Amino acid sequence: MQTTLSIIKPDAVSKNVIGKVIERFEDAGLKIVASKMIKLDKEIASGFYAEHEGKPFFEKLVNYMISGPVIVQVICGENAILKNRELMGNTDPSKADPGTIRADFADSIDANAVHGSDSEESAKREISYFFKDDELFLR
Ligand code: AMP
């Protein structure tokens, strides 16, 4: 069993597709074991994306991530990290396979509907960035 961090980003929240995104996870056999709706501030968003600091898209990414509320979740299941990445599709929605979350709900590489951890190491860091151990309802 693996856990991974998912964020439903401001564009998907404002499009009212939170439930549709969560349904993709559940239909793939993944379980939500922690969930909250929050509005990130500049410091929290910059810290979360620290590995991208200095890249040309960093400022835009941070400003976008603080533009509205997000849903931060921990999802759990067999191969959850890879499974979630397959469900999300390519970072750039115009390159994402049909039927993936980004192909169906995202508008651009900036407003691309969802985030998912890309490795066990980043999942560990990202989960603990938003949740305490006792906030995870591992079943
Ligand atoms: P991640 O790779 O999951 O840490 O997220 C980086 C995020 O930055 C992506 O999900 C995109 O929303 C955004 N982004 C904007 N421009 C780019 C780009 N040229 N390459 C990668 N990510 C980008």
Over residues 18-29, the pLDDT tens digits come to 999 999 999 999
Distance 139 CA to ligand 1 centre (A): 32
Q: Ligand 1: residues whose CB is within 6 Å? A: 52, 57, 61, 91, 109-110, 112, 115
Q: What tokens were used for 97?
A: 């396979």
What tokens does 78 get? 């067999």
- Residue 65 Cα to ligand 1 midpoint, Å, equals 11
pLDDT in tens, 54-103: 999 999 999 999 999 999 999 999 999 999 999 999 999 999 999 999 99
What is the C-alpha to C-alpha distance for residues 36 and 67, in angstroms, rounded to an integer? 17
Q: pTM, whole model, 2 decimals?
A: 0.97
Distance 33 CA to ligand 1 centre (A): 25
